[in-house]
Chains A and B, each alone.
Chain A
Amino acid sequence: MRHPSRLRAALATDPEIGAGNVLAKLVEHGAALDGPGISFDVAVDGYPAWTPLTLGVLRERVAARAAWLHAAGIRARDPVAIYVTSSADCLLNFMAMTWLGAIPALMNGNLPGDIAVEYIRRLRGAGVLADAAHRGQIEDAGLDVPILPDVSQAGTGDPADAPAHYRHHDDDPVAITHSSGTTRMPAAVVHSHASLFAATREEHLAAPRTGDQERMLCVLPAPHAAGIISTQQALCNRHELLFLSAQGGRFERSGAAVLDVIERWHPTSVYGFAVTWAELARFDLSQRDLSSVGLWFNTGDCAHEAHVRRLVTCGSHLTYTRDGVTRVPGSKFIDGIGSTEMGHSAFRAVHRMTSDRYGRCVGKPYAFAEVALLDTESGEEVPDGQVGHLGLKSPTLAPGYWNDSASTYRSRLRGYYLTGDLMYRDAEGYYYHVDRAVDAVDLGGGHWLYTAMSEERILMRCPDVRDCTVVAGRAAGQIVTDVLLLLAPGADPGADRAQAIADALGKPAAATLRRVVAVPEDDIVVGPTGKVRKFLMRQRHLAATAAP
């Protein structure tokens, strides 16, 4: 058996490995079949929930599905939608379809049925694989692609009948995932064998091992790029991995679910989107046993300082001191900003208890990422300190939008992919995210309202606010801004926070402030991954409360 670290080097330098063949390559390079595979929070083919599936069992369960899908007529290059809730159904069938060279189109189980139907229609695929709950939402919609038998049948294939593994080229499509759909119909994004593995090869296989046997709890959504990347990252590094379904369940209860799992499973690292850290902010973490956690990893939207500071005081990690190896209190939080199209975070910021560089600082670019902050009118880079549009060149970048060349090319400028984010860089080379371009509001006179940066400042000034959303737009011909607050448990809904919020917004934006209101949870419209759907919020909120 190879030592794991030698295995890592062999994987990192294998020119044929990619997102489509991680399992096969692990076995080829001699990874122990009784070593870690994945644990799920649901039963898998007779293995009860929470059972650690070894690499060998994982490969066998994937082979069973590859055989079943092959018997169902799925072949190389067939796009097949997967519309399920459980992380096991998603990930095992993803791997089985890539075994065949097919193109799994992974759909978030939170997507409403009507959106899902239209999304599937636009895929122009070869089939749909769904669980019972989701079949009901699509089977009477008149889709012109076959709906395969229920996903619970997929594990009944005979692993021995699986055909030879498809041999991928770097450019081969291995998955279609969708954006969070915060502004529109989710965009279908195609990833290649190489692009979806690039961050694992360049970063995660090049990072030093830690002193602990790592136990990684993944609260990322399995059907999204981050879910796939985290899975291959854990497998290639031979970490133990527990993959929760649907980000821990209904968002308003997911914080409690995640804390329970941490106390039960004792992970050394927890991977999630920003919604997870916001949900954990409901709890007094000092009352929970989070001592096993040394790392929190965030991607998607960058996290809020108020949430990060609470987390890094929890947990513990091994360190080397002049007294030798010792376990010390506190954890680190790796923040970043990434998206489906970016294929991984492009930036990395590390926070510890002693950190003080916040203010939506996303750190510096990963070594594999080439970034530029661009003026989209001139195409030139903006100087330090000035806000520009983030342009990215990276081996992780998705090749484009599925069945939508117009959008693919519209999002490119001078060879860069325009992420839709507004950022500035300071003189030391640190990058700061101020807003999504579609959410920022031009106030005239060179002033802008950046909603995400405003939310960051509000959370820091109002500690009894758990999360907040700034909604700005035109109502009755003028720009108005409403600030919607989600209060922490025990906070006084009637407290006067107007001054603190006006300070947070700054003078030009504060002049547009119409009202500050504590809202119930269900007033905040979130997309399938927990991101606030500001586009919809603006439409509904500004229309419903237009000035008389």
Chain B
Amino acid sequence: MIRIANGQGFWGDWLEAPVRLIEQGPIDYLILDYLAEVTMSILQKQKAADPKLGYARDFPPLMARIAKLQKERNVKVIANAGGVNPVACAEEVRRVAPALKVAIVLGDDVFGRIDDFLGDGLAMRNMDTGAPLITIRDRILSANAYIGAFPLAEALATGADVVIAGRCTDTALALAPMIHRYGWKPDDWNLLAAGTIAGHIVECGAQCTGGNCQVDWQSIPDLANVGYPIIEAEPDGVFSITKHPGTGGRVTVDTIKEQLLYELGDPKNYITPDCTADFTTIHLVDAGPDRVRVTGIQGGPRTESLKLSISYSYGWKAIGTLVYTAPQALEKARAADQIVRRRLLQLGLAFDEIYTEFFGVNACHGPVAVPVDDPPEIQLRIGVRGQEKKPIDRFTRELIPLVLNGPPTATGFGEGRPPVREVVAFWPALIPRDRIQTTVEVVE
């Protein structure tokens, strides 16, 4: 049995989690997921400004913090912290933690190959809209292929203490050590599906150990010290999910079911670079305190395509807010919204969208929200989005004047006018698998 712990569900997750995982009990592998779809574009910009950047900058300090214990306990770290610059990430880890042997996985970054692909007749159509990539060619900010677990397993085989990848799938981080240790083959579909589903369960960190859990949430113990998830994986594809004894949170069939359903599409056809996994074959059993055993998982062949994660510059947006109080808080906020819209119209400003929410009434649940009668306070929240920056900037000056020249009792303007933010959009597309070749390098 091997123990694979996930200490980071996204870049910005709890900094203490990975440290506690390594300090508070036995683990063999520590996996860390840093990349969201839009993160790649931010990293690509950082790299353009400074060729030494473009990776998850929280990662090297973490390695410095845990290096000693990691060596003592022979824990291997697998992280997609490399972003668009795994080489620079590895060099920084080596600089701050020289005792660690580092391997990197390269080949996912296709930012420089897009024109070659287009020239070869690959349309890379948007999987949601069907539009060909050529329509946004000059606005592309980053382009990466999602790679699977086998290149990561190859990197583990070098004996590295730390494996750094770029855009691998979240589930590959968990599956890779199983492939490495148990010698699973590229067509062991049921085993690969089991490891993939184990990865799906832990990929959001504490969201399977009591975080964001709706079942009897008030009784979930000590979320302040919540334990992050650990997979206990066996060679035959059976695994358990647990957490270190004495940590907060809860692992039950209910907490695992909730996470299994998270961001799920067609449950019979969960596609990764490694296999397709069938979520309707999962069998869960409570196997003791904070322990769930998972059996029965079946899978099928991998697809002939890999998914590309492309980001491009879409335009600009800004969201402004004001607070109105009772009596008639909602009526005041509605009136203010109408005034803003009329003023924008009179200025002749065009937007792709103007969207208003009344926070405290219906912002999150819209027409499904519980009706409220004259709430004590409401936040008016108006957002605009468009291709040109100038109208968005002008909009940001239209809210604060309402404090003096609109409906009564407006406040909450202390932050000043809202920032104008660049909108980087995501373009999902497919590419034939044989166009992506990965390599592994050891950084000495």
Same complex? no
A-side residues, CB < 8 A to B, are: none
